[in-house]
Structure formats: C-alpha cells, structure tokens
Amino acid sequence: MQQRHIGPFEVSAIGLGCMNLSHAYGAPPAPEVGMALIHRALDLGCNLFDTAALYGFGANETLVGQALKAHRRHITLCSKGGMAGVSFADGVKRVIDGRPETIRKNCEDSLQRLGTDVIDLYYLHRWDKKVPIEDSVGAMSDLVRAGKVRTLGLSEVSASTLRKAHAVHPIAALQTEYSLWTRNPEIAVLQACQELGVSFVAFSPVARGFLCGELQDVAHLANNDIRRAMPRFAPDTYASNLPMLQAYVQIAQEVGCTPAQLALAWLLHKDPHLVPIPGTQNIQHLQDNMAAVDVRLSEQQMQRLESLINERTVKGNRYNPQNAAEVDTEEFA
C-alpha cells in the first residue's frame, strides 16, 4: 500500500472509516463481522483507522479497540470527541459539547473503550459554537501534554477556525466531507491546509454510496439510515442526480476501474496531502476501495470528471438545516 503523511505518522494512502460498522447506514453487522472486516483491512496494508465517541454511542470504539489491540503499535488510531451520546430520561441523544471538561471526559472514556493508553490523532468532531475554538483546542492541547493523545485534528470547520485553532496548537489533520459531489473544501480549507502544513482527511469519499453506482433506489433505505435525513438522498432529488452516473460509469470503464475506485482515485490525484477514509460493511467493497491506490488518471480524465460532477451539476444540499447549522464549513450556495 502506498503511504502518505499525517503529522508524524506514515499512513496508508487510504484509511478505513469504521463508523459504518456500528452506526449510520442501516443495521450494523454483528461485532465479529466488523472485526473480520478490520482484520482484512490490515491484511490489505491499511494502517489508518477512524472512529469516534459518537459512533454507536461508544460501541464503535469498543469494536475498533478490540480488533486492533494486538496491532496497536503498527497502526494510526484516530478518534473524536466533543460530540457524543448523552443519556436523557427518554434515551441516549447526540450532543455537541466542546467545553474543556467535556473534552477531557470524552477522551478518558474513549481511551477506556479503545483499550489503549494513547490516541494517535484526536479530533474535535464538531466545533461547539458556544465555546471559543481556542478553549476547546486548548483543552485538547493539555491532552497532548498529558500523553493521552499524540496529535490533534478538527472536523468540519472553516479555514478561519482552522487558523485560530492552529495558533493554539499545531493541527495535524482536518477531516471534512470531500468527493466529486461535495466540493466545498475547494472554497478555502484545502488552500489553508496547504499553507499551514495540515493534512486533509476526506470523509464520505465515495459520496455515501452515490459514486459507487450500486445505490439506485433510496426509497428502500432503512428507517434509521442517516441518509434519510439528507436532502440529496430524498427520493426525487437522488433520482435527479442519477443520470450523471451514466457518463461517470463510462469513464470508470475507460480507466479500467470500478466507480468507487474512480471516486477515490480522483481524490488521491487532487492532493498529495489528502487521505480518504471510505467506510464499508462489505469485504468485497473493502478490497475494491483499497485497490484504488493503483488507479492512474490523466489530467484530461480528471477534468472530465470535474466538469461532469460538481457543485453546479449536483442537486440538493448535503445536510438538512439542523445539521448544516452544526458545521462551520464554507458551503457552495
């Protein structure tokens, strides 16, 4: 597997997003199936694993920690705090809370669930706009000094928030949604990352399934599938974006790769400091995704892809108004 860099870490050019093994896209697989998938990723040369306190309200960190325990020294383990499940009288709910005391508690809980003494890359999952970013990142920098985390990251923040945070403590990575159909990072954060020497971790790099070509009918998504709350996955909007896929799949055929590999190869060609972290529950898809490091695209193919799928041709917002208000990213109107 080709390697790239995040802060001091040499990581596989494609990492594994583990969220899907406990949360998000319908029923999660049984834990032993998730463990087997993580082990297959290791066999394929993947050494970058992404989880969060939020995923499965802790279950994902427990799974990832168990699966990687014997391999801990050979991998880069990434988790996130500042957005987690909190118990209320009517059940556990997702809460964004970036207060220093919460970040300290989130990190302790994550270390325990992961079964490790230190997290390699610890992200602030969302900037809590009620708390100055300097205060949240200040608390995270205390975690570095205490040896509980090695490096810091942010998720879904603007270029200006990244700069403010970076002035408090060096930020190793910014994680944000980026794919052919979500081009917002091109407005400002990719440039800011380049200037500051911050690596970019692209989440939802295969467009939550859209760019894989297999998801044709969103009406059958499970009731608890988070895509049901996303405007682009509303049945009419999704159907109106599907025709673009015909020309896209044709480019994949010309290149000699699968549609998912094309999406990942496009990202890898965009920026040498970028690492995509696709997620999957399916071993065949995992193998497909990891092999995308070997796909080569010409400048002309890159341009054809970019003029086919971009912020003007894709219909529908990526987030509903509530989730859009929770992020701090520059967005195409």
Active site amino acids: 55
Does 282 bind ligand NAP (CB under 6 A)? Our answer is yes
Q: CB of residue 20 vs ligand NAP: minimum separation in angstroms? A: 5
Share of the chain residues as helix, strand and coil, in percent rounded to the nearest 5: 50, 20, 35
Chain-centre distance for alpha carbon 126: 12
Does 180 bind ligand NAP (CB under 6 A)? Our answer is no
Chain-centre distance for alpha carbon 301: 25
- Round to whole Å and give the CA distance between 293 and 270: 13
Strand partners, 149: 119
Stretch that binds ligand NAP, among 6-14, 89-97, 274-282, 314-322 (CB under 6 A): 274-282
Among residues 260, 267, 275, 305, the one that binds ligand NAP under rule CB under 6 A: 260
Among residues 61, 97, 128, 156, the one that binds ligand NAP under rule CB under 6 A: 156
Considering beta carbons, is residue 148 or 285 the nearer one to ligand NAP?
285
Considering beta carbons, is residue 128 or 288 the nearer one to ligand NAP?
288
- Round to whole Å and give the CA distance between 147 and 144: 5
Considering beta carbons, is residue 102 or 175 the nearer one to ligand NAP?
175
Considering beta carbons, is residue 7 or 34 the nearer one to ligand NAP?
34
Residue 231: φ, ψ to 5°: -55, -35
Please compute, for residue 272, the number of CA atoms within 13 A of its CA located in the half-sphere on the CB side. 4
Among residues 214, 217, 254, 294, the one that binds ligand NAP under rule CB under 6 A: 214
Among residues 97, 120, 288, 328, the one that binds ligand NAP under rule CB under 6 A: 288
Alpha-carbon radius of gyration of the chain: 19
Does 18 bind ligand NAP (CB under 6 A)? Our answer is yes
Does 37 bind ligand NAP (CB under 6 A)? Our answer is no
Does 293 bind ligand NAP (CB under 6 A)? Our answer is no
Q: Are 86 and 93 in contact (CB under 8 A)?
A: yes
User: CA-CA distances (angstroms) from residue 171 to 68, 252, 283?
Assistant: 25, 35, 33
Among residues 6, 12, 50, 64, the one that binds ligand NAP under rule CB under 6 A: 50
Q: What is the 3-state secondary structure (H, E, C) of 174-204?
A: EEEECECCECHHHCCHHHHHHHHCCEEEEEC
Q: Are strands 16-17 and 9-12 parallel, antiparallel or unpaired?
A: unpaired
Considering beta carbons, is residue 146 or 228 the nearer one to ligand NAP?
228
Does 285 bind ligand NAP (CB under 6 A)? Our answer is yes
Q: CB of residue 210 vs ligand NAP: minimum separation in angstroms? A: 8
Q: Are strands 119-124 and 16-17 parallel, antiparallel or unpaired?
A: unpaired
Stretch that binds ligand NAP, among 14-22, 30-38, 62-70, 300-308 (CB under 6 A): 14-22
Q: CB of residue 19 vs ligand NAP: minimum separation in angstroms? A: 3
- Round to whole Å and give the CA distance between 165 and 307: 34
Does 19 bind ligand NAP (CB under 6 A)? Our answer is yes
Does 317 bind ligand NAP (CB under 6 A)? Our answer is no
Contact residues for ligand NAP, defined by CB under 6 A: 17-20, 25, 50, 155-156, 175, 203-209, 212, 214, 260, 277-282, 285, 288-289
